[in-house]
Each structure stands twice: as C-alpha cells, then as structure tokens.
Structure 1
Amino acid sequence: MMKIEMTNITKAFFGTPVLEGVDFSIESGEVHALLGENGAGKTTLMNILYGFYEKDSGEIYIDGQEVTIDSPKAALEHGIGMVHQHFQLVETLTVGETITLGLKEEGYPFSNRKRINKRILDLSSQYGLEVDPKKKIKNLSVGERQRVEIMKLLYRSAKILILDEPTAVLSPPEIETFFKVLKQLQDAGHGIVIITHKIAEVEQISDRVTVLRDGDCVLNCDLRDADENCLSQAMIGRTLKKREREIRQFDLDQPCLELQNVSVVQDKLKVLDDFSLKIAPGEIVGVAGVDGNGQQELAEAIVGIQSIDSGKVIFNGKQIQNQAILKRLNSGIGYIPADRHQDALLLSMDLNQNMLLKKHFNGDYLKHGLIDDKKTDESTSELVEKYKIKTVSNEQPIRYLSGGNQQKFVLARELEAGLKLLVVFQPTRGLDMGATEFVRNQLVELSHKGAAILLISTDLQEIMSLSDRIAVIYSGKNMGVLLNDGDLDVLEIGHMMGGKKHERA
C-alpha cells in the first residue's frame, strides 16, 4: 500500500495565485477524481506532485514521510507517473523504443530488443493495454498513443498514475475500452488520479472526488456522498440552465457553402470520397462520425489547407477550390481546428501576438506600416473580457493558459472576424461544463446573425444539441443527411456511423 498526501499547497504564476492552500491525497487501489473548471488549478496541482512545477509552499508526504519532488525523474523514483493531456511521443520511433526511451536496459547500449519487446507485450497483456512494440508512433490512433503513454509509466514501475483529461481525445468506443483498463489497473493495486471536468465520468469510475474552483479546494468527499447537482454547484458555483434547441428549416436554393462530389486522395486511397453537402446562411449542419473517417480532410478541403483531387467547393456562388487559404479567410471563412496547439496557436508567443495571427496584414492593426501595439492590446483585452478568458495579462505566453482558456481564445479570435461561414472542429473538446455552455451559445448566436456553420464533432450529444441538420460521414463518404427534428432516430445515426447508407436526403 502507498499513500500520498499534499497539504496546504500554494503556487503563483507571474504574481497571480493559482493554488491557495490546497490539500489532496491518493492511495493505492483507488480512483480519485480531481474535478474543476478550466483554469481551476487541477493540472498545476498534479504538475507539482509530478515534479514538473515547484510549489511555493506546502508539504508532500509519502507513507507519512515528507519528500521533495523536484523533477519528473524524482517523481518516477517515488513511483509517481503522469500522462499529460497532450501526449509526449516521438513520431519516428517505434512503440518499443518510445516506452524504453531514456532507460539503460540490460546490455546497454546493445540492448536485447527482442527480450524488451516481449516484456512490453507481457505487461500490456497483464493490464489489457494492447500495443504493438514494432509499430511506429506516427501510425498510431489517438487511443493507441494513450496506451503507449500509460505503458511508459508501468514499464518504469509507477504505482500512482496521474491522467490529465484522459478521455478528451477519445471516441466513445475508446472511452469504454479505457474504463476497462482503469478497472484492471485499480484491481492490480494502482492508485489513479483522473483530472477531469466531466461529472458523468466521475460518477462512473471514481471512488473519491476533490473539486477545485479558482485555486481553492471547495469539496473533498467520497463519491457516494455527492450527486451530480452537488458536484456541478461546487465546480462552477451555479446551476447550468438547460438550453432548448429551436427547430429551424432553411432554403437551400442559394446555399452559403456547397460541396459537389469532393474527393481527396492520400496514398492512393480516397480519404474523402465524392462528398456532397449544402449549408444555408444561418444554418448549423453537424457532421457526425467516428474519428478518423475523413473529418479532418473535409474541414481542411473547405478552408484550403488540403487540396482536393476532384469536385467543387462553392462559397456564396463562387468556386473557391483553387483559391489560396488567405483569400478564403479574408472572404469571410473562419476555421477552428481540432488541435489548437498544432494548428491554431503559437505557444511561446503572448496573447497579443496570437490575436494577430491572420490579421497582421489588416490595416486596422497597422500604423505607418508597422503593428499598432496599442490597438492590438485593446482588441485582445476586449476578447479576454467578453469571452471570460483567464489570464494574468495580454503579455503572458499563451502556453501558460489552461487548455480550456486556450480554446476560448481561439474561438474568440475567429468569432470576432465578421464571418459568413465557420468550419469548427471539436469546439468543446477539453472544455468544462461552464465553458462548453458558453461556446455553444456563441455558435448559436453566430448562426442567428446569418453565418453558416459546419460543426464537426465526435460528440453526438453536441451534434444533436446544436445542429439543424446532421450529415454522417463514414470512410470519407456522406452516408446521408437527417433533419434534426423531434423524429430524429439516434439508432439510425449509429447505423450510418457504421457504414449504412441513408437514402432520404
């Protein structure tokens, strides 16, 4: 048995308190959920336990003995491992090489790779973490990458596992598999910390729950002593209002966006296969499907990041499939990508600099041919205030914002651009309940202003709560379009996501 206690932990960034006297504990054989809104301090607290950040004050005890954990290496030596929300893997290495990276195995530097791979397979079989040691990281799905990250910790004999938003990037089937793995790890005696904002998952997998709000611990109890309303109230300080969706119908004779038999070929395979779709001004069309069925290519083909091999992309009556990206964006097309770190932000730059991305040629932000710093700072401050983005200042590097606040910043930057069409991919992935409600309300408000929205998401509840019509994508094909009215059959959507064609347009 192993028990870790953190007492009276404080931490500040740039003079602003992030954690204020927080207590937390985890022991072998339990799943402890660390719940809170984006920016509440959850990841910061666990980064301190993992040695990634240094606490300003407070104590950490392992089995009653005070310890100093000043690096991830020291944490692992104490049996503590962490899987971050954004995976830390080397694309060009194999799974086996990644798991043992940095270790001096028997026979180093001429380690017996065959013996190492066998040990990895034995370990993966023991915990139900199916991995192929010979497979390249670049060829893995998101779920497989997560399993590799967990295997890295188990291979190093970690007893306490910290998992940061582990289901944020997983599809529903992958989440179900992940929960089974968690149960096996728990049964084997591992203590597991789940950093999350999803109350439904907390209720499904946790033994205990601690809720942080604005750096303070507001609730710490056994799960049986708290219900959904209690956790929601503790997390966001209010009760969420259920939004009623208005059933709307649109005239598609003059669509804002029309895709005609669009195909994209990669490695001789059609990843987008004769895909056709119309979206009217002011309409929200959701694209449902299991992740990896052509959603990325669909979004990028519209914006211009991905060139198409055949078909037409028509925006407000004009073909744009051969237009440059910047010209499309300047004509009123906005894009919120699924991977904010890879495609939407420059993490080392501050908020002002990130606000200027795609706008640095805009005359409103230039003065005598140079960037107008005052105007830029004023615009950024307006976005921060309107979208309730938690930041110390506009000069703060955006990497220090929580994932949810980074996503809100990306959304704010796009929505303030006078859009006619918004392509939005996984808009609430990684966001807490309050932020999710805010983002969804902003999308509905944008549609009421006349903008067409293509909403791509693997969250079927999100698709159904926002969309006027729902298209289902499978293997790059449009399996059909359904009106999201009172007669919508969720089971039929599921069949279409599995490859069954819907005949009624």
Structure 2
Amino acid sequence: MSQAQTKSRSTPAEDILALEGINKTFGDLVAIENATLTVRKGEIHALVGENGAGKSTLMNILYGIHARDGGDMRLRGQNVRFNGPAEAIRAGIGMVHQHFKLSPSFTVAENIILGSEPMKGAGRVDFARAEAETRELGRRFDLELDPKAIVAKLPVGLRQRVEILKALYRSADILILDEPTAVLTPNETRELFNTMRSLAASGCTIIFISHKLREVLAVSDRISVMRRGKIMRTFDNDNVTAQDVANEMVGRSVLLRVDKSAARDIGKPVLEVRNLVAVGDRGERAVDELSLVVRAGEIVGVAGVQGNGQDELVECIAGLRRAAEGTVLIDGIADSADPRSARESGLAYIPADRGGLGLSLESPLWENLSIGHLPAVSKGPFLSARRAQARAGKLIEAYDVRGGGMFAPAGSLSGGNQQKIQIARELSREARLIVAEQPSQGVDIGAIESIHKILVAMRNAGKAVLVISADLDEVMALSDRIIVMYRGRAVADLASDETSYEEIGRYMGGLHEDAHPDQAATESQPAGQTANGIDG
C-alpha cells in the first residue's frame, strides 16, 4: 500500500483547536516558548521533535495536567483553560498515555466505565449495561473486545484498545496519542494505524506524538515539528520526506540511514550463549533455553517486544544476573556470573539505565570516564587525578561530548551526551565484545547518528557487537543478523538484508509457525488482528 493510501481519507478544513503563544516554565527551565499550533477537525496531526523538545508538555497543557504560564487556547472557537484532566475530558479531549493508566485486575468493561459508571437502583453499578455499552462501542469503532476479559491477560495491543475505548466512552472527539507505538509489534502498529484512520474518517481528530518518522509519514495528514519548546514548522504530508522533518527537528542536516557496508572478514565466535535459562524477578522463566552466537566483525541485533527476556539475557551476559542453567562464553572463557569476570573476559557494556547503572550523575565527567580504567590513570597504588583528567579531556574531544568540560557533573549533560560518556568509557577499553542496550533510548537524532557511526566503526575494526533495542528501525538499520526473542526464546535468526518488518513482526508477536504455535492463536493474534506489517 502506498504512503498516500495509508493516510487519513478525510478532507479536513475547519480548525477545531488553536494554541497561540503558549509558554511554560518549570523553575529556570523554559519548557514551552511562544508555541503556536492549529489542528483541523478530522485530521491525524503528528507532533514530532527530539527528546525534551516539549511535545508531551504542550499536550499536558492541553489536557489540563499542567497550567500554562501564558498564551491562549481555543477549542471549537471558544477560549478555554482547563484546571485538570476532568475538565478537558468533559470538553471532549481524551489522552492515551505512553504508559497505560489501566487497572490490570479489572475487566475491560470495568476499566472503560471507571469514574463514569452507569448506575441502577440503590446506588449499584449496572455491570450488565456497562458490558453491553462496551460491546456496542467496540462494534461502532471497529475496536471489538470481550467486555469480561481481564486486562492483565490481554496483549499490549489490545490494552491500548481499552485506553482508546475508555476515551471514546467519554465522548472524546479529540484524541491525544503519546508515543502509542513504543510497546507495539509491527503487526499491532498496523492495527493501530487502521484504527486511527477509521476514527479520523468518522470525524475524530487525532494528535499523534511520535519520534518514529517512518510511522509519522505513513499515517499523518500534517506534521508539526517542535524544537526547544517552539513549534518550528508545520508540513503538509504530501511531498515532505523524513529527511526534511529530521533536519527541522535538529536544525541541521543529519544522516538518517546507517552508513555501513556489508560485513567482511567475519571471524570466530566472541560471544556464545548456550542453552541459557534465567529466572526473572517474579520467579518466572524469563530466558528459556536460549542460544546465540556473535562473531568478530558483525553486529547482531536482538528484536522483540519489551518484556520477552531481553533484560535478563543482557544481565546474564554482563554478570549482573546468575543463570539458572546454561553457559555464557566470552572469547571462549566462561563468565563466572559477576561483572568483573565478564569485563576481564573482554566485555564492554553500555547499559540502558544511564542514570541508575551506567553513570554517577553527581560525579564529574573525569571520574565517570575513569571507572574501570584504574591501571591507566593510577600512579603506583594510587589514583592520579592529573592522569585521569588528561585522559578524560582526550576522550571528551574524541567522542564530541558537548555541554560541559571534564569537571561538569554527568547529570548536567543531555541524554545524548551522557550516552557518549558511557560509550567513550567502555569503548576506550581493549574489549572484544560490545553489548549496547537501547543505544538510542532518550537520545536525539543528531546523537543517534554519532552513536551508530561509532558502533559500525567497532564492527569494522573486528569487534563483536550485540545491540538490544526496542526500536525495530534501529535493529534493522544496524544489524547484520537479527535474533528475535519471544517468551524468553530465540525464535528466529535472520539476515537483515533478507528479511522484512513484516516477517520480524510475525516472530515478535508469536505469529510465526515456529514461535510457540500453541500460544500464538490465543495470546498474540486475538480476533480482529492481522499479521501484516506497517505500511509506508
């Protein structure tokens, strides 16, 4: 299906919403500065920008979560100011947050009616009516669900349907979707886009917050770009390209594709995981007899919906979690399940949790860059601050870390520059294996470009690179091979240039015949869902 076909078929003209000169500060931080945005009735309007650009803050002002400091807001031609989400909901605005606001132990119907319950005599909730209204609402908007299903037992894509129906039950005709595809498989994303187009065709207005440009171009009618709290430009999604939008987001030209040639001179195995079993924090079998190999001179990506054992796998490799069964070998040496042994075996580890695990945010950059490098920055048995600082200065320059010198605390840097500090520290070691977990998480497009170049350079230098990412675009772009995890198992090992989003999506959702076929029909492809990928 072409990009033109995937967009809303409505022909909106009337402005239903206008934000003019909106300002918001938090202490000394200017979060929103003179932001002006108009949204038309019945359109899918994408709001994009780098992390921290102000997208969610602006929508939280619209939804009544934050009070604006200045500017005007008009809804259907009337000036409005909401003193909380309840007022926004009564005005016909609904918001589906990135992290769902559902009660997992309640049924679908109970979640949808919560706070707006239909009542019968003696102050009792009319559950029969609630279930009937839920069923009718689902049929009307082609979002059918079992009203009696327990939400905790639903796959993520159907939980999102519950959130959307919850807003529609309250007569919302403006829906704000905040990063709605962040936890969806490609198949579930396709279903969400179909829903969005259907809602727009029925007259509902959708504001779609996302950082995934391919998806934005596939589904939106217009695209507004935010940078540093300002609306920089609004594009009609006819002839605009991802490059146009990305350049406006960053304020300069950026390279969107990963510039890498085909892998050459792939060497011997550096990482070998053999029949690994790991128990999760809740006592579940999080990794289930998983085996994989990463060789010198290749990047292997791990794809999968979050919560399918990726975190536990990485923790076992890094020595942060002890395996219940199986073996992890780095350069032929068995990892004895502690971080020091893993590093001595040749591991460089870039964790997803920068603030909690990767960096000491209160400590200066030179101290963060010295962790794990004591022999290089010591004089005899003692740390040499002079040597450590000289070495840190060279790394800060080599890895283009911006936002502060070596004495600045790590917490004062942007997410992208914090990530560069982690990478500089880890990759300046003599490591044979690089494990990069969510390398672009919370990082702007310009920093992503730099980080990807570094990882490809490591691969070209003969290192083995394992990338674990929830962003399928990133996995597809970086990897030579892709391992797909589903329910703790490696259900596919695919050459990146011989596969597609659709095929990977089927494995991620358990829809492929090799991926637990007994569970696929009941848990990963409920009635009404298809096994198609994302258009566009």
Output the TM-score relative to the length of structure 1.
0.77
Is 1:163 equivalent to 2:172 in the alignment?
A: no
Instruction: Give the stretch that moved more between structures: 3-12 or 328-337.
Output: 328-337
Structure 2 residue aligned with 1:436: 448
Q: Deviations over 1:402-421 (max 9, x none)?
A: xxx65774674465345644
Deviation at 1:240, TM superposition (A): 2.6
Structure 1 residue aligned with 2:41: 28
For 1:198-217, what aligned pairs fall within 5 Å after superposition?
A: 198-217=212-231
Deviation at 1:285, TM superposition (A): 1.4
Residue 129 of structure 2: SS of its match in structure 1?
helix
Instruction: Give the stretch that moved more between structures: 436-445 or 27-36.
Output: 436-445
Structure 2 residue aligned with 1:490: 499
2-side partners of 1:71 and 1:357: how far apart? 44
Instruction: Give the stretch that moved more between structures: 165-174 or 201-210.
Output: 201-210
1-side partners of 2:111 and 2:260: how far apart? 46
Structure 2 residue aligned with 1:5: 18
2-side partners of 1:188 and 1:352: how far apart? 52
Residue 39 of structure 1: SS of its match in structure 2?
coil
2-side partners of 1:129 and 1:226: how far apart? 31
Letter in 1 for 2:232: V
Letter in 2 for 1:11: K
Query: Is the Cα contact below 8 Å between 1:198 and 1:433 reproduced in 2?
Result: no
Deviation at 1:45, TM superposition (A): 1.2
Query: Is the Cα contact below 8 Å between 1:285 and 1:471 reproduced in 2?
Result: yes
Query: Is the Cα contact below 8 Å between 1:211 and 1:235 reproduced in 2?
Result: yes
Residue 119 of structure 2: SS of its match in structure 1?
coil
Structure 1 residue aligned with 2:313: 298
Deviation at 1:422, TM superposition (A): 4.0
Deviation at 1:292, TM superposition (A): 6.3
Deviation at 1:190, TM superposition (A): 1.1
Is 1:463 equivalent to 2:472 in the alignment?
A: no
Letter in 2 for 1:194: F
Query: Is the Cα contact below 8 Å between 1:7 and 1:58 reproduced in 2?
Result: yes
Is 1:129 equivalent to 2:143 in the alignment?
A: yes
Is 1:334 equivalent to 2:335 in the alignment?
A: no
2-side partners of 1:207 and 1:483: how far apart? 34
Residue 238 of structure 2: SS of its match in structure 1?
helix
Structure 1 residue aligned with 2:6: none
2-side partners of 1:358 and 1:95: how far apart? 47
1-side partners of 2:513 and 2:424: how far apart? 34
2-side partners of 1:97 and 1:198: how far apart? 33
Deviation at 1:358, TM superposition (A): 11
Is 1:280 equivalent to 2:295 in the alignment?
A: yes
Structure 2 residue aligned with 1:367: none
Is 1:186 equivalent to 2:195 in the alignment?
A: no
Query: Is the Cα contact below 8 Å between 1:209 and 1:221 reproduced in 2?
Result: yes
2-side partners of 1:126 and 1:26: how far apart? 25
Instruction: Give the stretch that moved more between structures: 51-60 or 147-156.
Output: 147-156
Q: Quick one: which of 247, 251, 258 aligns to 1:237?
A: 251
Query: Is the Cα contact below 8 Å between 2:316 and 2:337 reproduced in 1?
Result: no
CA 1:499–1:219: 2 relative to 1, 3 Å? same
Structure 2 residue aligned with 1:368: none
Structure 2 residue aligned with 1:144: 158
Deviation at 1:182, TM superposition (A): 0.3
Query: Is the Cα contact below 8 Å between 2:301 and 2:481 reproduced in 1?
Result: yes
Q: Deviations over 1:267-298 (max 9, x none)?
A: 99976443322223564212345666654443
2-side partners of 1:110 and 1:122: how far apart? 22
Is 1:313 equivalent to 2:328 in the alignment?
A: yes
Deviation at 1:106, TM superposition (A): 1.5
CA 1:202–1:289: 2 relative to 1, 3 Å? closer
Letter in 2 for 1:219: R
Is 1:63 equivalent to 2:63 in the alignment?
A: no
Structure 2 residue aligned with 1:53: 66
Letter in 2 for 1:434: G
Gaps of 5+ in 2: 1-13, 375-384, 516-536
CA 1:237–1:359: 2 relative to 1, 3 Å? closer
Query: Is the Cα contact below 8 Å between 2:369 and 2:421 reproduced in 1?
Result: no
Deviation at 1:175, TM superposition (A): 1.1
Deviation at 1:50, TM superposition (A): 0.9
Letter in 1 for 2:362: N
2-side partners of 1:277 and 1:147: how far apart? 35
1-side partners of 2:51 and 2:64: how far apart? 21
Query: Is the Cα contact below 8 Å between 2:401 and 2:417 reproduced in 1?
Result: yes
RMSD: 4.4
Structure 2 residue aligned with 1:196: 210
Gaps of 5+ in 1: 365-371
2-side partners of 1:389 and 1:161: how far apart? 37
For 1:216-255, what aligned pairs fall within 5 Å after superposition?
A: 216-224=230-238, 226-241=240-255, 242-249=257-264, 252-253=267-268, 255=269
2-side partners of 1:490 and 1:130: how far apart? 32
Is 1:416 equivalent to 2:444 in the alignment?
A: no
Deviation at 1:9, TM superposition (A): 0.8
CA 1:305–1:110: 2 relative to 1, 3 Å? farther
Deviation at 1:382, TM superposition (A): 6.4
2-side partners of 1:430 and 1:130: how far apart? 34
Q: Deviations over 1:351-381 (max 9, x none)?
A: 43899999999898xxxxxxx9xx99xx9x9
Residue 434 of structure 1: SS of its match in structure 2?
helix
Deviation at 1:462, TM superposition (A): 2.9
2-side partners of 1:187 and 1:131: how far apart? 21
Deviation at 1:6, TM superposition (A): 0.9
Is 1:352 equivalent to 2:366 in the alignment?
A: no
Is 1:452 equivalent to 2:464 in the alignment?
A: yes
2-side partners of 1:327 and 1:10: how far apart? 52
Structure 2 residue aligned with 1:102: 115
Letter in 1 for 2:221: D
Structure 2 residue aligned with 1:369: none
1-side partners of 2:370 and 2:104: how far apart? 32
The percent of aligned pairs where both chains have the same amino acid is: 35
Letter in 2 for 1:248: A
Residue 94 of structure 2: SS of its match in structure 1?
strand
Q: Quick one: which of 259, 268, 271 aligns to 2:273?
A: 259
Q: Deviations over 1:99-158 (max 9, x none)?
A: 333345424863122321232222122222243444444333332232222222112222
Instruction: Give the stretch that moved more between structures: 466-475 or 171-180.
Output: 466-475
CA 1:87–1:306: 2 relative to 1, 3 Å? farther
Output the TM-score relative to the length of structure 2.
0.73
Q: Deviations over 1:455-490 (max 9, x none)?
A: 234655433432243344456544564566xxx422
